[in-house]
A and B are shown apart, each in its own frame.
Chain A
Amino acid sequence: MANTFSNDEVLLTIPMRPDMELAAAKLASVIAESMSFNDDQIEEIQLAMIESCINAFEHSRSPDQSVVIQYIIRTNELEFKITDQGIGFNPTNKSTRRTNQPDLHPDMRKRGWGLEIMNTLMDSVDIMSGENGTTITMVKCKTA
């Protein structure tokens, strides 16, 4: 395993169990703090991380019940890759879902906004999903 690990990367594996998304978010906040992100940005990073982990916990149906998170440290940005080995999903279906269901119950309208929230909080969000799992890549820039 020598020399395969990058000096700019932190790697976290968490089990899919309650509150573990908070551990992942807290780690993100410490790393962002050490990179001198401001408080608002750190808050946004934490929220996006929590959303992303909970998505994986609730929907991935991963056989190993774990989520792997890469925190990649660059000069002016922090990148997160959140990976599960679940069944995957079609991200293009999600973006149109709300507008196609005007009769949706108000309570249900409060659910399922995870991806939209992540897009608002981060500078870029990319989703790669297939039958072997899903990787969500989110980037936060220091000077957005």
Chain B
Amino acid sequence: MANTFSNDEVLLTIPMRPDMELAAAKLASAIAELMSFNDDQIEGIQLAMIESCINAFEHSRSPDQSVVIQYIIRTNELEFKIIDQGIGFNFIRNFDRR
């Protein structure tokens, strides 16, 4: 496993159980704080992370009941990849729904 892990990345795996979305959000907020995002931005990041995790918890039907989150730190931005191994969904249809 040596040298496969990036210096700019934090990797989190959480079980799909209550409150674990808060752990993912709090970790996001800690990283965003270190990067000097402002309070409003940090609040926004936390809300988006919570929504994204709960989506995966409630709808993914993932057999391993876990969510993997990559936090990728760049100079002026923070990227999050929220990954489940569930059944997937048609996100185009979902966006059109409203």
Q: Which residues of A contact B (CB under 8 A)?
A: 1-17, 19-20, 22-23, 26-27, 29-31, 34, 63-66, 85
Contact = CB atoms under 8 A, between A and B. Distances in A.
Given A4-B64, A23-B30, A30-B26, A10 B1 contact: no
Range for the number of chain B residues in contact with chain A: 20 to 34
Interface in B34-75: 34, 63-66
Contact of B5 (A1, A6, A66): A66
B90 interface: no
A36 to B, nearest CB: 11
Contacts of A19: 34
Nearest to B3: A64
Contacts of A34: 19, 22-23
B2 interface: yes
Contacts of A13: 5, 9-12
A10 B15 CA distance: 7
A128 to B, nearest CB: 18
B64 A2 contact: yes
Given A2-B85, A6-B15, A22-B34, A27 B23 contact: yes
